[in-house]
Structure 1
Amino acid sequence: MATVLIVDDRAINREYLSSLLKYLNHTCIEAKNGLEALDIIQQQRPELIVSDILMPYMDGYEFVRQLKRLDDFKTIPIIFYTATYRKEEADLLAKDLGVQYVLSKPSDPQTMIDTILLALGIKKEQTLLTAELSQPQHDLKANLYQAPHQLIEIGGKLHHSLAQIKKIKHLLQSSLTAELSKEKIALIELADNLSNDILAYRKINNDLFLLIELTLEMIAEKDAVKLLQLFCHGTRKAVDAEFALACIVDENRKIRHLVTSGSKDFGFNENTVSLNTFADAIMKQGSAFTLNNIETYLIPWHQEKPSNMLCSPIFTNNQIYGFSYFINKKEYSTFNEEEIRMLDTLSSEVSIFYENIELYNLIQQQAAKLQIEGSKLKHAKEELHKSEMMFRQFAENIKDVFWRTSSNMDKVIYISPGYETIWGKTTESIYQDPCSWKDAIVEEDKLKVMTFMNKVIEREEGGSLEYRIKNADGIIRNIYNKTICLKDEEGQLQHIIGIASDITEYLQNQKEITLENELTQILEKNSPLTQIIPHILQLICKIFDWDIGEMWLVDEQQNVLQNMGIWHKKRKAFSHFDEVSLNMTLTINEDLPGTIWKCQEPRWFGNYSSHSAFKRGAILQQLGLHDAAGLPLMYQGKMLGVMHFFAKKISPFSPNFTRILILLGARISEYIHQKVTHEQLLQLLRRGTYRVIF
């Protein structure tokens, strides 16, 4: 027998056709859509194709169109099998594609068999379906989607019963004699009545099948206009009307959607449709109803007068959406009760489906908005992440310390690596102990810093502050801290951020400039060296906040350092120091000046006053001057002397400060050399031992 390809997106329809074909001993292969069917025929060539038209991915029309382009398959006979209310469109599509056979859903089994045999070129024989074919599928659940299959089974049973009755009637008629018995005549009449009843039941069965098929298609539709077209066209076919109109109105009583169906339009003009008294009357009704002898003034958008109408509102229990009407029953004078009930059912369904579509569209709009917002949020997050990465790159590559804490500063949220450079401590240490940064603040500045921070927290206002720290290397650092308070939209303090900059070198450079300018003014004075020295010492002590300055010059004859001058503020308090120092000479490597003479480089010495090797340690201890510093005075590699200073606290020298002292020493050394050379020259001239010949 033949191989038949069944193409339908609904399994129940494929199962029905497969049952028929297997009954006829044909082999069946199945596909869910046109795309799948094209793949199958490449592997197994069928002798016949039975295809639905409306299918996802690739519909029946496109499937057949592509099939006709393939030389090996274009001669395969094809049957279009589609819904009854789409029969007209199916006929047009079939004609366009050269498809000879079109069947409507549902078709009775015998019609299906006859058409299949005709398409295969098999001689038609009297074929009666056996009871086995029409046995119900007990494993199917009785729900809406399985109802078409059950109706097909019922149709098979009715077809079988009708065939059996016709057979009985034929046997009775063939056995009648000239004298008909009353019993046989009664049996023949009974057979006729049963046959008519079965035909009526078959019509009801077909109507129910159509109703369910239409309902299933409307359920699947997500477009309001297409839903209305399905309802309008399908219902017109079901009630056998010549023309149909369905209309949806909005909350402002404006026509939102309007569709029509039918080849005869009774002079319909869409542009004149309005919500007049006729439309209002339909929408105010609670159910479907019929009208006869309609006057044209009621429906001015029709030029021709209809003979009868079937009307219904489109509404749910809570909302009226519009109205529909169907004009002129084709074969009968009026619409019957069954058709009124069918329209009631379909109107109720389309109202619910339309409401669902509106909700679906609203959800889609909200989903689209959420998607847009989500996209914006994603973009914002990406930009924020990018900004954070750029900020981290910035923060982690600058020397300053960027920090961020909680609103009460009890938790460090972020601190940049500059903290390790300036404070000399790990960033991990401050995460573990948020207050550990305060330990480095010099004792004199702690109260000032704590007062400032408490003010920031209490007043929720930022500000700036300068203070000093002593880092892990013991070097005093000058810190400039700028603090900012971050608040939310409601004005609540969320975080405190700030930038702490090491301004030590900046201040030193500023002092260097000031020192250079003022030193130039001093050295430009035409005064003896002994008068200039105190001014030089005073300037250096003022700039660097030191208490005592002294200058020692080398006596080359005795090879010792002699004190050439002392400067300090407190003359009476430091008189004993002056007396001891001015009468003192130092050899190389003796005391701190002698040490500097030997090493020929700037030196710092903490706790000088407590060191027993230094002669004046006890005096300085009494004066409270504990630290000392000095720098050599050298000219062209020759040691001229040493400048020596005392203070309560002198920070160890940083590389930049050492550079400043070296430059300072070189400048003063050059001046001393010039001054000494000049004074020596004047002494020679006065003695008459030096002559200049021009």
Structure 2
Amino acid sequence: MAKILIVDDHAVNRESLAAVLREAGHEVVAATDAASGFDRAREARPDLIISDILMPSGDGYEFVRSLRRDALLSHVPVIFYTAHFNAREALTLARACGVRCVLTKPSTPENIRQTVQAVLAGEDVGAPSGEASEAQYLRLVTSKLAETAEELEWTSSRLMALIDMCLQLSEEREPADLVKAFSRAMRDLVAARHSVVALWEPGQPSTSHVAVSGLSEEAAAAVEAGLTSPTPIPVPLSARGPMRRTGPVSDADDLGLPWTYPPVGAMLVVPVRSGTRQYGWVCATSRISGDAFSADDEQLLSTFASYLGRVFENHCLIAEASQRSRQLELEVARRAASQWRAELQCAVANALAGAGTLAEAAPQMLQAICTKGGFALAELWEIDEAEGRLVPVSAWHDNVPGIAPFLEITRTFAFRRGQGLPGRVWSAQVPVWVADLSTEPTFLRAESAAAAGLKCGMGFPVIVRGQISGVLCVFGPAGRPPDADLITLFEAVGGQVGQFIERRRQEQRLVRLSRIHAILVQMGAIIGSDDCRTGLFQRVCRIAVEDGGFVGAEVFTLTPSGEVTIAAAARAGGPDTPLGAGTEQIVRDVFAGAEPVIDNRRGLSPSREGALAAFPLAHGGRVRAVLVLQADATGLFAGAELMVVRQMAADVSLALDALESRMAARFGAAAGVV
């Protein structure tokens, strides 16, 4: 039996034809296009070649010409195997290149076997060449009825092919696949050597979809690049109606196509429209028969292009609807994010507005941050500059199992600058995001955090007047990549907390200044009103506590033997018991140096913060007593407050001078009487 080469780009056609031939006992080899078919023929040396006419790269005519030019293959008989509606063009092409026979698709297995056997045997199977072919053709057209029947059959076959092609196009979902399928089908429909499809999406001239059929991949890519480059739209697109060209072969660029396109003989351009909108054009060139494209070709391709316009319009509408849907989703997400961010900031503002101190506001504020931001635990730290460490202010957590060890370790830690997550924020003075706490080497509480199910954390600074004064940290139960919007939000929250701290500081400062000024008013009233130093000192201590708001005031004196004694004392909210525990050395230093001693970090007890100041009360250039004032707020004795308190001590010294002068005058008068 014979070795037969099948050249067809349609896998179904190849397999069905190969099955028939193998059943007949023949050996079958196959190729998918003209180029690979030629290589396969040289390799396999077949006894017969069955070739399609229209293939993605090249066509049957060029393929047969290549075979005839090759000394080893020029004798091999060839059968054209093509669609029924292209039979006329196939006959013409067969005459031109010496092909033995033309089989039409579909053909019965028996017809295929008989035709193959006859060609292999060298029999005359009606090869359409010479006078016999012409006589056969004349006999076919002698009858008007037979001619009409043939025309109807031919037209019907093309329409059936058109319907089948439309069904194929309807299955394509992507524009790129759509134009490729159309370009390939268009060549079959009008029997063209080459075809081009170019579509542009409305309002987006840079978004083009181009496909070329009938050229090699490299040549097709060059043509597609020429049509998609940012140059003026090619001339064929400007056609508002179908355009047919006949005439001599011309360069492609003379006809409005890229210069890389093959020379053009016959040409058919049809716009792709839907309703009143034009999306692009389709172009078929160089009919395989060498004839011009007919009016029937134009009408058929126009119908096909109209269907392409509808399908492409649907794609554009779906794409536009999808884009609007995505924009709407993004807008909804943006508004939802804006809403919860506004809710979070509002909740923080409400917590701060209803509190007198940061410690009072912190629990409600931290709860709002966790519930609104999706975190499990939040903690607030305040910077102790004197001690160089971070002091815990408050913490809030959701019902997190195993959180107790983490909180206990947190209370025992004294984070310093650069140490742990809070210390890193303090050092960098910018937000720090840790997406995975278990892999962060600087996170000192990793073990207890893992036990509590805390996976990620973030810390951000609390800024007061451009300086960091605290750190707020949040922790979540799941790994969370850095979120720029969330970081910006928490920076704003840190600013809110900083504004609250500054506002409270200013309010407290105004209260302190008003109280200290009240002391000065009272000091002016006591000058010259007391008859003994003890009474004067006692009134000064009571004025400092009751009018000035100090938590304690006491006056110390020295005995002739140099011992420190308390001359008077007063304390807020309790009996006038001495506050002098631990202050004796400070008093001695003031007596010795005659200069005030200020300690703005001295607490009332180890668990209570505060400040202490000791001022000399001088008379006649000598320190007669020391006034000690104690406040329940750190940093009180500084700036304007310190100046006013100094003035208060000067007024007491003046009152002491006046008292000593009166006492001396009374003593002198009494001595004169005696």
Which TM-score bucket, shorter chain as reference? 0.3 to 0.5
Q: TM-score, normalised by structure 1?
A: 0.37
Task: Decide which structure has the larger Cα Rg and report it.
Answer: 1
Q: TM-score, normalised by structure 2?
A: 0.38
